[in-house]
A and B are shown apart, each in its own frame.
Chain A
């Protein structure tokens, strides 16, 4: 039982889970034992929509290196696009 701080964030987006696409409202990031990955501990990220029940969840379990590489890749991808292009503030306005 060695689990650590859980970072909870509000998320605006969508994800594809076991029963198809759903709107994602919440995210959790924590370092803990994985359910599936063959590591003692992993960085676990859950994308969820609690209003749609526990099955509205996409779970990933990453090594520390993979998690940091993901963070880096997200920053690079955003930096390569025009600022604000994927911002929630743009809403559904025409491109």
Chain B
């Protein structure tokens, strides 16, 4: 294995045949490589998320982050796309599932793919990761502080997001959950409810709630960044994907 990689913008086919922009990175060695679909957070398809994609490639995975707001127009800056998507109430759940399926198909079609797919998402992408894992046949999923999996959002919440816990029986793969003890969306109580439900259903899962960390503790470009939780969290992620995405 070398540590050289290719990274750049690619096109993938999303829900109902939509053309999506995506950022992909993959090792240049001959593999085989597991695949990782990265679901960006609510603020959109940004530089920090692209860095996450490259991080997976540096660790031997082929990774891709589809721009879930691609439909807001080609050539539109990602922050404007995010604002437009937000004004429309966010991304519909069925569209998200179709877009993740398209990104996974892209990864499976790469020359040195081993056929195994993990999905990881942050913030709203954490909830969407759980949704994808309950809707698609994948091999591993990592939910980083996804809210509204257990409880419905407040009535005046501007985004359309239904709770997903009733779909937990359909979870198709092992789930790693990484949360902050100081987070309110999701709160530690909600995390405990999901943990108990997955245990009741006999679903393989592993949850970690980090002290002194709140929402978005992985975000290196934001004041919420908590190095201790993030460093430990990344170890958990690579250990988990190492076990479940190996050929």
Query: Could you tell me which A residues sit within 8 Å of B by CB distance?
Result: 1-6, 8, 18, 28, 30, 33, 35-36, 38-40, 46, 48, 50, 53-55, 57, 59
Contact = CB atoms under 8 A, between A and B. Distances in A.
A55 B69 CA distance: 13
Given A1-B127, A2-B147, A35 B223 contact: no
30 contacts: A1-B123, A1-B124, A1-B145, A1-B146, A1-B148, A1-B185, A1-B215, A2-B215, A3-B158, A4-B154, A4-B156, A4-B157, A5-B157, A6-B87, A6-B158, A18-B77, A28-B87, A30-B158, A33-B43, A35-B43, A38-B223, A40-B216, A40-B223, A48-B83, A48-B87, A53-B76, A54-B72, A54-B73, A54-B81, A57-B84
Contacts of B73: 53-55
B184 A40 contact: no
Nearest to A33: B43
A8 B159 CA distance: 14
B222 A3 contact: no
Contacts of B42: 1, 3, 33
B83 A59 contact: yes
Chain B's interface size range is 35 or more
B80 interface: yes
A8 B156 CA distance: 13
B58 interface: no
Contacts of A36: 79
Contacts of B184: 2
Given A1-B123, A1-B127, A39 B223 contact: yes
Contacts of A2: 147, 184-185, 215
A54 B80 contact: yes
A49 to B, nearest CB: 12
B126 to A, nearest CB: 8
B9 interface: no
A77 to B, nearest CB: 27
Given A1-B124, A1-B146, A2-B185, A55 B77 contact: yes
B95 interface: no
B223 A55 contact: no
Which 10 residue pairs are nearest across A and B when measured between Cβ atoms?
Answer: A54-B84, A6-B158, A1-B147, A2-B185, A54-B80, A5-B156, A54-B76, A35-B79, A1-B124, A1-B123
Contact of B158 (A5, A35, A46, A57): A5
A40 B222 contact: yes
Interface in B98-136: 123-124, 126-127
Contacts of B216: 33, 40
Given A5-B156, A57-B83, 16 more contacts: A1-B42, A1-B123, A1-B124, A1-B148, A3-B159, A5-B158, A6-B86, A6-B87, A18-B77, A33-B216, A38-B222, A40-B222, A40-B223, A40-B224, A50-B84, A59-B83
Contacts of A50: 84, 87
A8 B222 CA distance: 27
Interface string B216-231: 1000001110000000
Nearest to A2: B185
Nearest to B145: A1
